[in-house]
Every structure is written in structure tokens, then in C-alpha cells.
Amino acid sequence: MTNKLRDLRADRGWSQAYLAEQLQVSRQSVNALETGKYDPSLPLAFRIARLFRLPIESIFQDDA
């Protein structure tokens, strides 16, 4: 699975620390998500989508 988290965050001028704070996760988690080392659970993916006010499928893309 790939995601546009880094681009979306950059567009809004948010730091990793700020995004982590908003999602109530560690900065390591944000970094792992952005670099594709970790795929979020559905609840976290929904939290991310709500924060960016975008549908999940426009943030996360299935590689298959």
C-alpha cells in the first residue's frame, strides 16, 4: 500500500511532530507511515482521512 501522507502534510506546512500530535501517535509512527514501513489500521486510516478532510482512497492506494 502506498500513501500521499508526506505530500499532504507538506502542502499544509505541517511538521511530523504536529501531525503526530493531531493523530495522538508518536512521531516514529508518522515517519513509518510516510516511508511506507507501516500500513495503518482502519481506525487510524479513518482518523488520518478525517484530519485531512479527504476520503481514505485519495490518501491510501492499494498496490494490487
Partner 1 sequence: MLCFTGGNLAERRYRRSGLMLMLSYFLTFFGVTFLVHYYHPTGFRLYFAALLPSLPIFGVLFIAGRYLREETDEYQRDTFVRSLLWGIAFVMGLEMFLGFLRTYGWTGTPPAFLSYYVFCISVLVAKFTYKFRNRIPTDDQ
Q: What are phi and psi of 12, to 5 degrees?
A: -90, -5
- Shortest distance (Å) from residue 50 CB to partner 1: 16
* Cβ-based nearer residue to partner 1, 2 or 26: 26
- Shortest distance (Å) from residue 59 CB to partner 1: 17
Question: Is 44 an interacting residue with respect to partner 1 (CB under 8 A)?
Answer: yes
- Residue 25 gets which letter from DSSP? S
Residues 6+ apart with CB under 8 A from 12: 52
Among 41, 53, 55, 64, binds partner 1 (CB under 8 A): 41
Q: What are phi and psi of 3, to 5 degrees?
A: -145, 160
Question: Is 58 an interacting residue with respect to partner 1 (CB under 8 A)?
Answer: no
